[in-house]
C-alpha cells in the first residue's frame, strides 16, 4: 500500500501552516502589506573569512593544515597577513595560496 495522498504533497507544493503549531505573532512585525504574520528581516551583516582548513595528501594518507588570518584582515595582530600552520611550522603565505588550496572547512567572523 502506498503513502496516503492526503498527507503527502509534490516537492514544489506550498507548505500549509500547522493549525496546532504555536503562534509566532508575539515576535512578528507588521509587513509592508499590512499582514502581522511576517518576522522582521534579519539585521544586515557582513562576514569575513579568517581561517581555512585544508587536507594535503590523498585518501590513503596526508595531513590537515590551516590557513589563518589573525585579526580578521584588519589592523589587528597579524596585520591582515595569511599564515599556514601545520604540525611543525607556521609560514607566511599569500592570499593566492589560500585561494588555491582545496578547502575542507571555512571559518567566517561577523563584521
Per-residue pLDDT reduced to its tens digit, 5-14 = 554 445 454 5
H-helix or E-strand containing 96?
helix 95-100
Residues 66 and 104: their CA atoms lie apart, in Å, by: 10
Residues 65 and 86: their CA atoms lie apart, in Å, by: 5
Residue-averaged pLDDT of the chain: 76
Q: What percent of the chain has pLDDT over 70?
A: 60
State the pTM of this model.
0.56
Residues recorded for the chain:
111
For 78, other C-beta atoms within 10 Å of its C-beta total 17
Residues 68 and 48: their CA atoms lie apart, in Å, by: 12
- pLDDT tens digit string along 41-56? 777 788 899 999 999 8
Amino acid at each position: 500500500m502506498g503513502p496516503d495522498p492526503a498527507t503527502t504533497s509534490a516537492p514544489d507544493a506550498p507548505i500549509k501552516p500547522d493549525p496546532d503549531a504555536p503562534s509566532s505573532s508575539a515576535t512578528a512585525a507588521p509587513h509592508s502589506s499590512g499582514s502581522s504574520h511576517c518576522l522582521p528581516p534579519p539585521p544586515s551583516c557582513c562576514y569575513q573569512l579568517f581561517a581555512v582548513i585544508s587536507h594535503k595528501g590523498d585518501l590513503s594518507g596526508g595531513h590537515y593544515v590551516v590557513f589563518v588570518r589573525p585579526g580578521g584582515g584588519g589592523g589587528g595582530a597579524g596585520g591582515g597577513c595569511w599564515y599556514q600552520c601545520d604540525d611543525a611550522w607556521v609560514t607566511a603565505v599569500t592570499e593566492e595560496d589560500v585561494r588555491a588550496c582545496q578547502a575542507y572547512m571555512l571559518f567566517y567572523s561577523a563584521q
